[in-house]
Amino acid sequence: MTAEQNGGRVTLPAETGQETTVAEMARKWGADHIRDSDGTELSDELLALGYDIYSTVCVVRADQEWPKTHHEQLPRKFLMTNRVTATGDTVDIPLMERYFDEKYEIDSYTNPKKVWEVIDRSTGELVDAAQWEYLEDKGIVRVCDVVPYHVYTVNFMVLQIWDSTSMYNHMTNNWTTEHVVSMDPYYQETYDHLMNWFDNWIETHPHTSVVRLTTLAYHFAIDSGPGGTTVFRDWLGYTDTITPPALDDFEKEMGYRLRAEDIVDQGYYNATNRVPSKQYRDWMAFIHKFVVRFGKDLADRAHKAGKKTATFWGDHWAGMEPYSPLYQEIGIDINIGACGDGVSLRRVADAPGPQTSEVRLYPYFFPDVFKPGGDPLGESVRNWVKIRRAMLRNPVDRIGYGGYLSLAAKFPEFVGHVEDLCNQFRTIRMHSKGGESIKSAVKVAVLTAWGSLRSWVNDKGVGSKFGVQNESNLLECLAGLPVEISFISFDDIEAGGIPSDVNVIINNGEAGSAWSGGRHWANETVVTAIREWVDNGGSFLGVGGPSGFEHQGRFFQLSDVMGVERETGSSLSVPGLAFEVNTDHFVLQDNLGTLEFGTQASHVSVCMPGTSVLAASGKHVLMAVRACGKGRAAYMTGLPYGLQNARLLLRTLLWCANREDAVKAWHSTNLLTDCAAFVHSGCMAVINNVDSPQTTTIYDGNGVARECSLAPYEMTWFEL
Amino acid sequence: MTAEQNGGRVTLPAETGQETTVAEMARKWGADHIRDSDGTELSDELLALGYDIYSTVCVVRADQEWPKTHHEQLPRKFLMTNRVTATGDTVDIPLMERYFDEKYEIDSYTNPKKVWEVIDRSTGELVDAAQWEYLEDKGIVRVCDVVPYHVYTVNFMVLQIWDSTSMYNHMTNNWTTEHVVSMDPYYQETYDHLMNWFDNWIETHPHTSVVRLTTLAYHFAIDSGPGGTTVFRDWLGYTDTITPPALDDFEKEMGYRLRAEDIVDQGYYNATNRVPSKQYRDWMAFIHKFVVRFGKDLADRAHKAGKKTATFWGDHWAGMEPYSPLYQEIGIDINIGACGDGVSLRRVADAPGPQTSEVRLYPYFFPDVFKPGGDPLGESVRNWVKIRRAMLRNPVDRIGYGGYLSLAAKFPEFVGHVEDLCNQFRTIRMHSKGGESIKSAVKVAVLTAWGSLRSWVNDKGVGSKFGVQNESNLLECLAGLPVEISFISFDDIEAGGIPSDVNVIINNGEAGSAWSGGRHWANETVVTAIREWVDNGGSFLGVGGPSGFEHQGRFFQLSDVMGVERETGSSLSVPGLAFEVNTDHFVLQDNLGTLEFGTQASHVSVCMPGTSVLAASGKHVLMAVRACGKGRAAYMTGLPYGLQNARLLLRTLLWCANREDAVKAWHSTNLLTDCAAFVHSGCMAVINNVDSPQTTTIYDGNGVARECSLAPYEMTWFEL
């Protein structure tokens, strides 16, 4: 079988003045859609070339005249000042010291006493509003009758006078154009204006086939410090969604008023890594409902004009929530997500709903990579190997690129590689018919504090801030495994128990984080449900700091299930149980001897008899497994991404699920390769994930073997 | 000057049947006292040799007949069972599964319903006593109406039917003698009996000059598991001090009843590393008062008979508390402590009160070290280098050994080395006249949750459980520095502020531990006091997890003072401030380029401007210093013991105290050497701490230099 010959399923960034290049690239890569990008426009000539046209529009930042006369309707946010130590009875707190004055302006429309908060950070107490005043001319809050040497902060409200993406473009690409300002559509007047503006835009864009909404209402969270440095960033954060009328409506709907501190969160700003509070989740749900209404209004207009709608999961995408059931009400036709690895591929591919799925691949055609000495080819190859592996489990419908095509055209090796990549993608899409490849008998549920709403979001650990190379990345391993995967939350289990079709619950992430679950592990309902379920035949795989929360003499709350416990300093003189490393276990077979758990110092000991240690560094347990009633459990101290570790994970899941028998079904023996069977279309792919030739034995679902040799990075297909 | 020629100040373990050896060793080592040891006795011939005689007596385990008829007055303790998961409505909890039945017997004298506790460890709730019953024949507690898959434990009371030290001797030295049983003197009947016994003992020991109490009433905490394995050990623990009448008296005196859980502490047993609870401290104080009364009764009897008293800080020493003011009431004449390093030397040397101070050096003459292939010489040399360094700051009055002299005599190199060691010690004692050497201008206070009660107790970290080689050990560095040292607690600061003569507060230990302080750092009174004091010219040195406790947006509560903050996962996307490493700072001068902070991964960033990073590993700050108002602060992520790090610590303390000018007073430039000036006796020691010849320049208090060459490990003396 050969690749789809006639091209298609590829979106190309076009650029006025580059018409010849566009045509040549479109032919080479088989592009059927062209798009504009930030900073590029499509000439009439391009529009006439006959491609489907994606037109990028970000409604809230499209009209730069409106904000000039409606300054009070700019988007807002709460910021927390630096922490200031009082040295006398009065303390002056500069509001903007930590922030970029080209981006933020102190909100002078809202009564500070109504929404700002002065907090004594030594005690956590709110300072009475009568004790402080805002001195506008000095840009400070002066607080009286303070306790000397207590630390004080102000939560205050700012207008956002420079759109974060516009600012990023200026900073990264040295743009000198006017600063773009976004508008807040929560104001009805602005809302109506933007709808009118959009009606007009639709009328004036007859060539547009797909309205590519980038995205909708509110930018994701980036706080900028002096000079434009980033002082906070959360791609999934809602801190840029604050608006006074919304705060009022929230109070009416929810029966309580959101405090600035509910958003500021001691300065942590409810970062996605944090176990979310009820208040923050309530606010998210409230804003999500508004964004869905706003989006539906836009999508309805586009559909009425015979155009499709796409959303790009980036920029103004706070409140979109593609994994929320409500998202379907918007009426989006194409989900587009940026994609650099298997996790981000699966984030788009696995999203629920009938939407066409499209990934925008890296590298983006921007001068930060496409510059003399840059290595766009290397970046793309590294990404593609991960993406392809995940795509063979669940393919997307389309791929595409963004940026300046003229930049990419200067790298002919990159251009040739993308041609091959596009052909490989179309081959996968053709043979898969858009369906998933067959899965093994195991269904896993990844348990986090966020659940499905944050499906396929990576569990960053503290090492990520310090540039650790070898961080645990279970999701990337998982993204390419032939198992069914869902994401569930503690609330899900509390409300409905453990889904009956799940075989293995994975709890993966650093203790205390949203990924591990933090305080949820002191919720006996959840812990008890899991314990009972495992005892009756379920299984639990803990990675990192699983079930980690200090409570009643245990740190790992499921230490009785996993058989291991982490030392946190309270039981230094309680020795762990003695162990010998069992290197013969089923899950360790078929490995190259280079297993890597991300650290040699887990500080984890065996605490229950019947625990089999599979890897250790001295007294530190790195991996252990344990039978637990009718069920099974496993622990790993970390799982950095690698083909070796992906295979280890697969075998661990099979063992946990008590399905060791399934190891040879739809299986490639050489762990540097993968296979994927699309039974519904009668064919099977085999891929080589490394840059050297490989041979492997492929088993079909009946265990019938077949030998296979592959060139470096080759993908080949068999009929079943 | 030469060493004291006439010997003395050395205690020798004697042994019946080894009279010739004793005489020879006593001559070689210059011993003036001889002693018996566990398992050895002194013959009439030995008693007649003319030495002062130390006679070891442990009153509570001296008479093995009494317990046979007073079984109900054996010492008791609370134990917690294993954690048992209920799988139905009823759960059976075996009481002794985790414990050694040769050591413990379930207490059948006390009504279980009165003192035992069944606890639901999933919720922390106490189970109603009506829900459970003790099935004595099965050795279990059966709990009804439990929540399936909750975890349950029983806190129960046992009699101790084998003394911990006796058991240790049996296990370590393969003793086969009868198991020794201790008695609990809290029972008045036993108390009176022991006093009578002691009166008789005094009468029958006319040769005894010094009654060496080993120690008094209650053994330190060692819990033994099946087969005699150690399942918990805390040399400073009070878990072996429980007795029903004491529980009753405690309730009368304190106004509340101590719960079993107050001692069991979720299974952590209030280990010294834990931040102590109020209830545990109350109990300690209560028992201490009793032990002082018991001890004074014994000491008075000894004194009346014209004998001196000594206590050995080991075995039954719970409740002694030599750093407590009340300890002085006992009337002890000689404090003896085991000593293997500078920290344990200082623990004895620095203890308050007029007592003669004696250290019992390692290795103990036992077959675990003194065996073919053993290296007693190596162990002694390694210890002595550390001990001597500390002894030159504050010498003790005597040294000694314990165990079987006949074993030591088989190692002639060891015997020769101890001869030199004894001479070195006597030389130090002679020149020091028992006084301290001169200190630099810095006075430090080490701040812990325990304060002075746990002076010179090492801050064990989680690594200690896993055999980490490179653990932080600031106290060992500190033990040999020419600075004044005190230990204070958070309670001290809360009650009385910071002592006016302190220059530097050191907070050293892993976050959450008693050494760092844990929840005390959320006490704004203390934090505020330190902040104000530093701002006004004090200084703070944080090592490990200083001021570490998650509270109001900060982990290091004094991050504003130190200028650094640890990432715990809540602010992954808040970058630290950029820094360059300053390698020219005063505190880094005079180092050999091999500074070692115990880890490369501190996860600590700069959070305040004006912070000067002195050492880093990539983005991980390993050491930083900062001016803070009129004061100064420094942070180190750890400080393993080494001569290099000791020097670093000295310079850091001088810098913190704003006394860089004092660096050349009473100073040896070569950091592999040390000097110590005993101004009151007009002489100065210089020591070489390493096994190669060294030269150094010595400065006196006026900065006058003098060159000095030293052989390996040499100690030499100058007149001032």
Task: Provide the 3-class DSSP secondary structure of residue B658.
Answer: coil
Residue-wise pLDDT tens digits, B648-678:
999 999 999 999 999 889 999 999 999 999 9
Tell me whether strands B356-361 and B398-400 are parallel, antiparallel or unpaired: parallel
Chain B partners of A524 at a C-beta cutoff of 8 Å? 122-123, 147, 150
The dihedral region occupied by A665, where left means phi > 0, alpha psi between -120 and 50, and beta the remainder, is beta
Residue whose pair of structure tokens reads 């803990």 in the numeric block: A542
Nearest to residue A247, comparing CAs of A295, A215, A279?
Answer: A279
Nearest CA distance, B220 vs chain A (angstrom): 13
Residue A2, pLDDT score: 41
**pLDDT(A590) > 90:** no
Inter-chain touch A512–B467, beta carbons under 8 Å: no
Domain B667-719: CATH class, spelled out: mainly beta
CA distances from A252 to A6, A186, A260 (A): 56, 16, 17
Question: Which amino acid type is present at position B349?
Answer: A
Residue whose pair of structure tokens reads 């020091």 in the numeric block: B432
CATH 2.60.40.1180 region(s) of chain B? 667-719
Inter-chain touch A567–B527, beta carbons under 8 Å: no
Chain A partners of B568 at a C-beta cutoff of 8 Å? 462, 512
Cα nearest neighbour of B629 on chain A: A87
Residue-wise pLDDT tens digits, B281-337:
999 999 999 999 999 999 999 999 999 999 999 888 899 999 999 999 999 999 999
Cα nearest neighbour of A567 on chain B: B462
Cα nearest neighbour of A80 on chain B: B553
Please give the ipTM for the structure prediction. Answer: 0.95
Task: Provide the 3-class DSSP secondary structure of residue B299.
Answer: helix
Q: How many CA atoms lie within 13 A of A431 on its CB side?
A: 28
Number of helices and strands (H, E) in chain A? 18, 36
- Quickly state the pLDDT bin for B3 (edges 50, 70, 90): very low
Tell me whether strands A356-361 and A334-339 are parallel, antiparallel or unpaired: parallel
Chain A partners of B153 at a C-beta cutoff of 8 Å? 553
> Across-strand partners of A618?
none
**pLDDT(A647) > 50:** yes
Inter-chain touch A572–B462, beta carbons under 8 Å: yes
- Weakest-pLDDT range from A182-196, A446-460, A615-629, B585-599: B585-599
Chain B partners of A273 at a C-beta cutoff of 8 Å? 569-570, 572-573
Inter-chain touch A567–B465, beta carbons under 8 Å: yes
Nearest CA distance, A227 vs chain B (angstrom): 14
Higher pLDDT: A495 or A591? It is A495
**pLDDT(B38) > 80:** no
Give the CATH architecture of domain A10-63+186-231+273-432: Alpha-Beta Barrel (3.20)
CATH 2.60.40.10 region(s) of chain B? 75-160
Q: What is the pTM of this model?
A: 0.96
Residue B590, pLDDT score: 87
CA distance B360 to B11: 8
Q: What is the mean pLDDT of residues A110-118?
A: 96
Do B710 and B687 meet the contact criterion of CB atoms below 8 Å apart? yes
- For residue A552, give the nearest of B121, B462, B512 by CB distance: B121
Nearest CA distance, B624 vs chain A (angstrom): 17
Residue-wise pLDDT tens digits, A296-311:
999 999 999 999 999 9
Residue-wise pLDDT tens digits, A12-26:
999 888 889 999 999
CA distance A47 to A33: 11
Do A243 and A325 meet the contact criterion of CB atoms below 8 Å apart? no
CA distance B599 to B461: 13
CB pairs under 8 A between A and B: 182
CA distance B393 to B476: 13
CA distance A281 to A593: 44
Cα nearest neighbour of A535 on chain B: B87
CA distance B578 to B611: 10
Nearest CA distance, B561 vs chain A (angstrom): 10
Nearest to residue B274, comparing CAs of B17, B448, B104, B82?
Answer: B448
**CATH superfamily membership of B75-160:** Immunoglobulins (2.60.40.10)
CA distance A332 to B642: 66
Q: Tell how far CA A695 is from the center of its chain.
A: 35
Residue A169, pLDDT score: 84
Task: Provide the 3-class DSSP secondary structure of residue B330.
Answer: coil
Residues of B tagged active-site: 315
Inter-chain touch A273–B570, beta carbons under 8 Å: yes
Q: What is the mean pLDDT of residues B596-611?
A: 95
CA distances from B38 to B166, B180, B199, B393 (A): 9, 12, 21, 32
Chain B partners of A575 at a C-beta cutoff of 8 Å? 229-231, 465
Right CATH number for A443-664 from 3.20.20.60, 3.40.50.880, 3.40.50.970, 1.20.1250.20? 3.40.50.880
Cα nearest neighbour of B233 on chain A: A573
Q: How many CA atoms lie within 13 A of B351 on its CB side?
A: 33
Angle, CA of B321, B322 and B324, to the nearest 5° = 70
What DSSP assignment string belongs to B495-561?
HH-S-TT--EEEEEE-TTSTTT-GGGGG-HHHHHHHHHHHHTT-EEEEEESTTEEEETTEEETTHHH
**Contacts by residues B336-341 (CB-CB < 8 Å, ≥ 24 positions apart):** B336/B212, B336/B310, B336/B311, B336/B312, B336/B360, B336/B400, B337/B312, B337/B313, B338/B312, B338/B313, B338/B314, B338/B362, B339/B383, B339/B387, B340/B383, B340/B386, B340/B387, B341/B383, B341/B386, B341/B387, B341/B390, B341/B476, B341/B479
Q: What is the mean pLDDT of residues A429-449?
A: 95
**pLDDT(A440) > 90:** no
Neighbour count for residue A620 (Cβ, 10 Å): 23
- For residue A83, give the nearest of B464, B560, B567 by CB distance: B560
CA distance A270 to B700: 59
Catalytic position from the list A184, A315, A333, A674:
A315
Inter-chain touch B571–A83, beta carbons under 8 Å: no
A315 is catalytic: yes
- For residue B510, give the nearest of A233, A467, A569 by CB distance: A569
Residue-wise pLDDT tens digits, B452-473:
999 999 998 999 999 888 899 9
CATH 3.20.20.80 region(s) of chain A? 10-63+186-231+273-432
**pLDDT(A173) > 80:** no
Q: Crossing angle, helix A376-391 and helix A412-432, to 10 degrees?
A: 10
Chain A partners of B260 at a C-beta cutoff of 8 Å? none
CA distance B607 to B578: 9
Diameter of chain A measured on Cα atoms: 82
> Across-strand partners of A308?
A210
**pLDDT(A71) > 50:** yes
Q: What is the DSSP letter of A312?
A: E
Nearest CA distance, B531 vs chain A (angstrom): 6
Q: Which residues contact B412 (CB under 8 A, 6 or more apart)?
A: none
Chain B partners of A629 at a C-beta cutoff of 8 Å? 87
Inter-chain touch B573–A513, beta carbons under 8 Å: no
For chain B, what is the mean pLDDT? 95
CA distance B687 to B695: 10
Give the torsion through C-alpha atoms of B336, B337, B341, B343, to 10 deg. -110
Where do the H-state alpha helices sit in A540-699?
559-562, 643-656
Inter-chain touch B462–A603, beta carbons under 8 Å: yes
Do A511 and A517 meet the contact criterion of CB atoms below 8 Å apart? no
Q: What is the mean pLDDT of residues B483-499?
A: 97
Chain B partners of A266 at a C-beta cutoff of 8 Å? 552-553
Nearest CA distance, A705 vs chain B (angstrom): 45
Cα nearest neighbour of A521 on chain B: B122
**pLDDT(A1) > 60:** no
Chain A partners of B230 at a C-beta cutoff of 8 Å? 575
CA distance B679 to A118: 57
Do A61 and B509 meet the contact criterion of CB atoms below 8 Å apart? no
Nearest CA distance, B631 vs chain A (angstrom): 14
- Quickly state the pLDDT bin for A654 (edges 50, 70, 90): very high
What DSSP assignment string belongs to A558-593?
THHHHSEEE--SS-TTSPPBP--B----GGGSS--S
Residue-wise pLDDT tens digits, A479-527:
999 999 999 999 999 999 999 999 999 999 999 999 999 999 999 999 9
Inter-chain touch A510–B569, beta carbons under 8 Å: yes
Domain B10-63+173-223+289-432: CATH class, spelled out: alpha beta
Inter-chain touch B552–A234, beta carbons under 8 Å: no
Do A335 and A348 meet the contact criterion of CB atoms below 8 Å apart? yes
CATH 3.40.50.880 region(s) of chain B? 443-664
SS3 for B205-230 is CCCCCEEEEEECCECCEEEECHHHCE
Taking the alpha carbons at both ends of chain B, their separation in whole angstroms is 12
Q: Percentage of chain B surpassing pLDDT 70?
A: 99
**pLDDT(A690) > 90:** yes
Q: Which residues contact A683 (CB under 8 A, 6 or more apart)?
A: A1, A431, A677, A717, A718, A719, A720
Question: Which amino acid type is present at position B684?
Answer: M
CA distance B290 to B529: 35
Nearest to residue B617, comparing CAs of A468, A504, A55, A222?
Answer: A468
Six-digit token string for A182: 């976004």
- Quickly state the pLDDT bin for A5 (edges 50, 70, 90): low
Interface with B, mutate which of A465, A600, A602, A606 (most B CBs under 10 A): A465
Q: B707: exposed, middle or buried (C-beta count within 10 Å: 0-12, 13-18, 19+)?
A: exposed
Residue whose pair of structure tokens reads 């399936």 in the numeric block: B148
For chain A, what is the mean pLDDT? 95
- For residue B273, give the nearest of A267, A527, A569 by CB distance: A569
Cα nearest neighbour of B275 on chain A: A570
Residue A720, pLDDT score: 86
**pLDDT(B2) > 80:** no
> Across-strand partners of B710?
B694
